[in-house]
Amino acid sequence: MADEPLEDDRMCFCCGERNPIGLKLTFTMGPEGRLSTVWRPRREHVGFKDLIHGGLVATVLDEVMARVIFERGMPGVTASMETKLLLPVRWGRDYRFTAWVGRERSRTVETEAEAVDVETGERAAWSKATFVRVKSDSAT
């Protein structure tokens, strides 16, 4: 995989504008190289009543971490990821997902990310991941 270039067909579930069921996330680079997006989960994203499926929270954490390294010129794919769901994530509320680079190595990049409830400021989820660097033909 590391030798195969990534190609963006604009169908990414998280950010692809051509994906009819995608989340359509947009990103902002902030101070100290931190990248953020705000996601307001919808009712169709629940696992149990009113609680967002943890796999979707992990998906958005993964996306913001992948995007932060891409924006720094280091495209990569997720090799490993650890996620902690700290508080219930509820539909209809805004959550700010922010990622940053922890450590760069020759073939890998280590990242971290968090999801914070915009209204309360409480940290709802945290993740760390290792990405393997790959070639890229276009943006993801």
Question: Residue 68 sits in which domain range?
Answer: 28-133
In a domain, 9, yes or no: no
Residue 127 sits in a domain of what CATH number?
Answer: 3.10.129.10
In a domain, 4, yes or no: no
pLDDT at 104: 95
Domains in the chain: how many in total?
1
In a domain, 87, yes or no: yes
Percentage helix, strand, coil for the chain under 3-state DSSP, each rounded to 5: 15, 40, 45
In a domain, 105, yes or no: yes
Ordered mean pLDDT values, 10 residues apiece, the chain (140 residues)? 72 91 94 95 95 97 97 94 98 98 96 98 98 74
Surface-to-core class of residue 129, CB atoms within 10 Å of its CB (0-12 exposed, 13-18 middle, 19+ buried) = buried
In a domain, 3, yes or no: no
pLDDT at 112: 98
In a domain, 106, yes or no: yes
46 HSE (CA, 13 A, CB side): 11
In a domain, 43, yes or no: yes
In a domain, 5, yes or no: no
What is the spatial distance between Cα 125 and Cα 91, in angstroms, rounded to a whole number? 15
pLDDT at 3: 63
